[in-house]
Amino acid sequence: MDLIIRLDGTDGKTAAVYRALRTAIVDGRLPSGERLPATRALAADLGVARGSVAAAYERLTAEGYLSSRVGAGTFVAAVPAVRSRRRTTADPLRPRTDWSWKPLPASGAVRAPRYDFRTGIPDAGLFPFDAWRRLVAAELRLRANNPGTYGEPAGHPALREAIARYLGVSRGVRTTAADVVVTNGAQHAFDLIARVLVRPGDVVAVEEPGYPPARRILAALGARVTLVPVDEQGLVVADLPAHCRLVYTTPSHQFPLGRAMSLARRRELLDWARTRPAAIVEDDYDSEFRFSARPLEPLHSLDTAGRVLYVGTFSKSMIPAVRTGFVLATPGLRDALVAARQLGDGYGQPAVQAALARFLDEGLLARHVRRAGKAYGERHARIAAALGAQPGLRIVASAAGLHLTALTDADSTAVVTAAARAGLALDDLRDYSDSPTRQAGFVFGFGATDPALIDEGLALFADLLDRHV
């Protein structure tokens, strides 16, 4: 038994042993039924006389904390534990930033609802697990990927090469492996960018409504976050603050509204950034799945001044458990981003990254995206048609991604709350806004929903909406 006692008191070693044992029993660290060491053994461990331990045992037994059994030993009696409470009134440690915001629920934290229209969750049933398992198993074999050494902070070289090739084909992005910094998902990329670019007090701009984790990362690092509205063409560049250090935007599929930023607005944003020391973070989180027109060129491809940091993730195109993303760094920021990555968590998982490189190079991701995109397109069309026929809703046109949004004049919060009680999960558009005049609406994800239950779930939603109009 490891027992910490203080021997600097004035009442002797017997009292010190007694106090330490009694406190451990009362706190519950020594549970009922725990067998204590023999007096000789504990005395040797503590460096005290055996008589001191024996006397402490006798006192605790007399008070009902211990019980002895002939031939078996000394045991902790059935004493109700009373956990000690740390005093908080004079706690000297306080967070420097407000962390009291409501956390976003993890998709796997609770049992999935019957009608699951939550956002950001791909359909794991469409993912080729057998092929992925084969690749990961091959990379985990003995001596593969030098398991006795540390990986590269920027990411596995083969994966950086594969990402550069994949983006060139799928998104028309001109880049090389040297530009790629592999991260643990997109959110990790945002954190690295903010750490190397933003100082406390710097002004940053985010879309309104927008992606809450991005604005929270910036706020947590002490930035002054400015909410910039989004209209039919995308981020309203005219409303950007003059002295802005960083702009976060989702131009290919605005989150959560779903619109694509127009080409004119993209050029306006790049022209704005070219005249000041500002960076643009382009979050291209799920535009692989497109249902109609071809995507517009990313900001990164249109950028000639080196202002755009392009962030992508495989959490939507594959599954969240892969937990891999990337950022395309500008030459002046690459070393700083790699250093921040190394300082924060060292490096990623070499075996997973090597397997992902093969998944890309063997065309497995492209094949999966085509197959899954077809399934998602059918769900998108069904949901859009049903919502479009529902009085009191205005569909926001979108042609990509894993969700669509409908605006309403009804109390969207009340409807979403009632829906949750009925086993239907969807997102309230108001949850993606910090503006006092938040637009009411509903955000329907269709990656996690059971296709056989879409119509039934939408009928339930229509009934709930009618009650609140």
Read off the pLDDT of residues 42-76 as tens digits, 9 standing for 90 and up.
988 888 899 999 999 999 999 999 998 888 899 99
Cα 15 from Cα 8, distance rounded (Å)? 11
Cα 304 from Cα 294, distance rounded (Å)? 22
CATH dotted code for 128-366: 3.40.640.10
Cα 294 from Cα 373, distance rounded (Å)? 13
Helix or strand run (H / E) with residue 224: strand 224-231
250 vs 13: which has the higher pLDDT: 250
Amino acid 47: pLDDT: 85
Helix or strand run (H / E) with residue 271: helix 263-274
Residue type, 431: D
Q: What is the mean pLDDT of residues 107-119?
A: 81
Arch. (CATH architecture) of 372-468: Alpha-Beta Complex (3.90)
* Total residues belonging to the chain: 469
Q: What is the mean pLDDT of residues 91-97?
A: 66
DSSP letter at 464 equals H
Span 387-411, pLDDT tens digits? 999 998 999 998 899 999 999 999 9
Q: What is the mean pLDDT of residues 288-296?
A: 79
Alpha helical stretches, state H, 47-106: 50-62
Amino acid 468: pLDDT: 83
Cα 314 from Cα 327, distance rounded (Å)? 12
Where along the chain do the CATH 3.40.640.10 domains lie?
128-366
CA dihedral over 42, 48, 54, 58, signed as positive or negative: negative
54: three-class secondary structure by DSSP = helix
Average pLDDT along the chain: 90
193 vs 172: which has the higher pLDDT: 193
249: three-class secondary structure by DSSP = strand
Q: What is the mean pLDDT of residues 174-181?
A: 96
Where along the chain do the CATH 3.90.1150.10 domains lie?
372-468
User: What is the phi-psi region of residue 388: left when phi exceeds 0, alpha when psi lies from -120 to 50, beta otherwise?
Assistant: alpha
Residues β-bridged to residue 73:
69
Span 206-232, pLDDT tens digits? 999 999 999 999 999 999 999 999 999
Tell whether omega for the bond before 295 is within 30 degrees of 0, i.e. cis. Answer: no
**Does residue 416 surpass a pLDDT of 90?**
yes
Cα 246 from Cα 201, distance rounded (Å)? 12
DSSP letters, 151-163, are: PPTT--HHHHHHH
**Does residue 179 surpass a pLDDT of 60?**
yes
CATH dotted code for 12-76: 1.10.10.10
Between helix 212-220 and helix 186-197 the angle, nearest 10°, is 30
| Residue 362 confidence class, pLDDT cut points 50, 70, 90 | very high
290 within 8 A of 373, measured Cβ to Cβ: yes
**Does residue 327 surpass a pLDDT of 60?**
yes
**Does residue 165 surpass a pLDDT of 80?**
yes
Where along the chain do the CATH 1.10.10.10 domains lie?
12-76
Q: What is the pTM of this model?
A: 0.82
Cα 281 from Cα 227, distance rounded (Å)? 15
Q: What are the strands, taking DSSP E only, across 85-222?
A: 115-116, 180-183, 203-208
